[in-house]
Structure 1
Amino acid sequence: MATLVLPTGRTFPLEIAESAGARRRGLLGRDGVTGALLLSPANSVHTVRMRFAVDVAHLDRELRVLSVRTMRPWRIGRPRLRARHVLEAEAGAMAGWGVRRGMRVEVRTHEPGGPDEE
Structure 2
Amino acid sequence: MPEDQLRAGHGHVQTPRATVPLEIAAVRAARTRGLLGRDGIDGALLLTATRSVHTLGMRFTIDVAYLDDDLRVTDQHTLPPNRIAAPRWRARHVLEAAAGAHARWGIQPGCQPAVGP
The corresponding residue for 2:81 is: 73
User: Where do residues 107-118 of structure 1 align in structure 2 (5 Å cutoff)?
Assistant: 107-109=115-117
Q: Distance in 2 between matches of 1:7 and 1:56?
A: 16
Stretches of 4+ moved more than 2 A in 1? none
How many residue pairs get aligned? The number is 108
Q: Structure 1: any 5+ residue segments left out of the alignment?
A: 110-118
Deviations 1:56-76 (A, max 9, x none): 000000000011100000000
CA contact (8 A) 2:21 2:42 kept: yes
Q: Distance in 1 between matches of 2:105 and 2:114?
A: 14
For the pair shown, which has the larger CA radius of gyration, 1 or 2?
A: 1
CA contact (8 A) 2:16 2:106 kept: no
Give the fraction of aligned pairs with identical amino acids, expressed as a percent: 55
TM-score, with structure 1 as normaliser: 0.89
Residue 63 (str. 1) matches residue 107 (str. 2): no
Deviations 1:1-51 (A, max 9, x none): 10001245x200000001100000000000000000000011110000000
Q: 1:107: how far off?
A: 0.5
Q: Distance in 2 between matches of 1:57 and 1:31?
A: 20
Q: 1:96: how far off?
A: 1.1
Residue 42 of structure 1 is aligned with which of 46, 50, 55? Answer: 50
